Amino acid sequence: TTNSWNICSNNNIYACGNQPTPRYGSLMVEYKNFLYIIGGTSGNEYCRNMYKFCLSDKKWLKIESTGCTPPENYRTQGYVLDHEIFCFGGSAEIDSNRFLTVHVFDLKTNRWSKRKTASACEDFPVPRVYDSFAFSKTHGYMSGGKSQFGQVLSDIWSIDFQTLTWQRLDYNLKDGLSFHTSVVYNDTVLYVFGGTRASNQRVNWLEKFNIDVPSLLNISLPYVFNSHNYNVDKEIQLPPPLQDTIVDCRF
């Protein structure tokens, strides 16, 4: 790798069709060559409507959905599992029941549903805004945020997509954070970066949390990478997929 930045394109995509109104804070996901845009705000009002953009013919389409439509919101975060979008969070307002249900959009029928969640610890996350979500293939991970009483939170929770069960993790962020970002790497590690503390101080630290046990392959390959034989005898080469895995495992 070169560890250098490249500009992929600095041109707007020429698009046709029923385009969304100008907005920010929308949820965007990809499914079968379409980009889906949900919600957001113009700065003056929240947007409830949905659009999809075909990556093949560069055409916008407005989606006419049915069912239990979620309230107007922005900074909603979501994940596509099979043919459904699971929607979490949002920063329009603090809803006392926001973690008791999940809004799910069926991409085949264009229908919304609201599903009840459960808790493995007989408790649910405190209602909040400005939290961060990250996703593995089977779980969502929510951390931090600001409560309705102004407290900046440091707890970390997971939700199982199959059972919609919340579980509080055994560790916290090292300080309460809001407006931070997070990502799940390789389904085993949660990284959290930046954010704002209760004092309004912005931070640039990166935290790492192990959320699942890595495979034996991922455990062993870094030792192969650092071994004397691998580094000295360059004629002994592993298949490219394994070489890529070795590089990934160093992080």
E strand intervals along 90-164: 101-106, 111-116, 118-119, 128-129, 132-135, 139-143, 146-147, 156-160
Structure tokens at 30: 């990809």
* pLDDT of 6 strictly over 90: no
Distances (CA, A) of 94 to 90, 107, 130, 240: 9, 27, 10, 48
Structure tokens at 23: 């907005």
* CB burial of residue 201 (10 Å; 0-12, 13-18, 19+): exposed
Is there a contact between 174 and 209 (Cβ–Cβ < 8 Å)?
A: no
Structure tokens at 182: 């997070």
Looking at this protein, which amino acid is placed at residue 52? Answer: K
Structure tokens at 11: 């041109």
Strands 76-81 and 118-119: unpaired
Strands 146-147 and 156-160: unpaired
Least confident range from 104-113, 155-164, 242-251: namely 242-251
Strands 118-119 and 165-168: parallel
| Beta-ladder partners of 86 | 79, 104
* pLDDT of 25 strictly over 80: yes
Distances (CA, A) of 4 to 1, 89, 226: 8, 33, 24
**pLDDT computed for residue 149 by the predictor:** 92
Rounded Cα distance, 105 and 29, in Å: 12
| Beta-ladder partners of 202 | 196
The stretch 83-104 carries a mean pLDDT of 87
**pLDDT computed for residue 235 by the predictor:** 47
Rounded Cα distance, 98 and 80, in Å: 19
Q: Strand, coil or helix: what is 43?
A: coil
The stretch 4-16 carries a mean pLDDT of 70
Whole-prediction pTM: 0.82
In the chain, what are the domains?
8-115 (2.120.10.80), 117-250 (2.120.10.80)
> Residue 176's closest CA among 158, 208, 148, 199?
199
DSSP line for 6-39: -----SPPP-EESPPPS-BS-EEEEETTEEEEE-
* pLDDT of 93 strictly over 80: no
* pLDDT of 115 strictly over 60: yes
